[in-house]
Structure 1
Amino acid sequence: MNEHHQDKLQAVVFDWAGTIIDFGSCAPMGAFVRLFAQFGIELGIAEARGPMGLAKWDHIKALTELPRVAAQWQAKHGRPFTHADIDHLYDVFTPMNAAVVPDFCDFIPGALEAVKAVRARGLKVGSTTGYNRPIMDVVAKIAAEGGYVPDNLVCAGDLAAGRPAPLMMYRSFADLGVWPPYAVVKVDDTGVGVQEGLNAGSWSVGLAISGNAAGLTLAEWQALDAAGRQAVRDRATAELRAAGAHYVIDSVADLLPVLDAIDARLARGERP
């Protein structure tokens, strides 16, 4: 085994919404709220955001387990949610989310530059997502037109389990031809996405501002004063640190110094 080859980074695996595109990870939010409204259930945006990063079927299941949601369903139907109900909600959700997603495909500021810099270092660019294939068919095409084509794409539903399980990362290692896991960095805006990386044995970098942890649109973030920004940053950072992130930065625009730091740690024999 070539030890020298092993002590350098080989790939970065990026999440999609809230990481590369869709500042604030907003596309699914309205869709979740509308989905439940269609079934006569009132769901708040903060509630909808709770399970973000999970595969969307798992996300819907988690929402049906919220006491307030479960009580509304019970009152309406005289019985609790069943798996069949969740399947039905998911079938309705996918086209809803696919329909709105083109409106939320703007790149996060600095994302394309960060990806270019990652490639310039000779690293592979992988991607995993909580979106399923039908939704990603729409997203990936728009992203490609804008100049982002990662070396692979693993979707929720491709494998037996989604986040926080490491299976999408394992598939990425195989797709990209990279190993060991500690030669790979996972970048994500959700706690379960951070844990997807940790559970695979990789370095995990959390994004505090660009995604679900902050839960703000770019305009909302830009409108905050310095104290307001720091309060959001502190709250989001605490959430991602609690999930186990090795590093927490505002957005992918700040990734390069972290890659330098990880490379230095690998050279010293450190592992995640």
Structure 2
Amino acid sequence: MSSPPSRFGWVRLRLEAASVGSRPRRLLFEFLLFGLKQGWACLFGGAMLALLLATHLFYPPGAPIARYDFLTLCGLAIQAAMLAFRLESWGEARVILAFHLAGTVMELFKTAHGSWLYPEPALLKIGAVPLFSGFMYAAVGSYIARIWRIFHFRFDHYPPQWTAAVLAAVIYVNFFAHHWLPDIRIGLFAVTAALFWRTRVRFTAYRQERSMPLLLGWALVALFIWFAENIGTFSNAWLYPQQRSGWSMVSPAKFGSWYLLMILSFVLVSSVQRKRLTLPGTPARNYPSGGR
């Protein structure tokens, strides 16, 4: 059974139940509700980005704790609040924690190899990696987990779960191995396309279920993550080597990296949402939203 809706969830449920009359009005309402739900799903990531910018612009130089440590504490507070207000389930939180840990391991490796750096001091860190960095990865996992619930995701022609898990594992290994071995990301893109070219994600923003190719959905999300990374580097939260002498836009090539990392996050979340990886021809069902 699902948990009862939170006070925040009731607002969304009332909007979903609203009757708005003519077809043009329904389409406009659906479009606006789609945007509202997307923003609600981005709650964790949006809060972290807002904190990155606010602390970059206004954090006092003489503060008793370093800016990075403050961001770490804020990330913990946001996660605790989302659990307390039933905006995430404990099962989802465990998957997000796993993604947080996987991201931190990658950060340790990548900073050691000079892929990017953290220019400010911190006490709450492992090696050269401040702990707040893991929350940036967790924000991606949080978004996927929340949007899955909010839009009542289900899928047509989703490949066997084990094939997606193997693909995700190879993607993760390649992020490390390409420093010594040939980078196989082009091959990974090809395998991803072969596995998921028929897969469509069904979603409901307002009453009517719609669908789109899953590969396209991942591309759109990866694009917005790339935009968010530009905000992160602008706020001096982390820097690529070419940005040390002054900020510049993150290379568009990073879009491909985020696309692959999106798949890893998606597969991790799907381990919790396995029952919603429905088969072709399965009748549409309304899944309980749990007030999220």
Note whether the superposition's TM-score is higher than 0.5: no
Identify which of structures 1 and 2 has the higher relative contact order when contacts are C-alpha pairs closer than 8 Å and 6+ apart.
Answer: 2
Tell me the TM-score normalized by structure 1: 0.27
Please identify the structure whose Cα radius of gyration is greater: 2
Tell me the TM-score normalized by structure 2: 0.26
Q: Normalized per residue, which structure has more helix?
A: 2
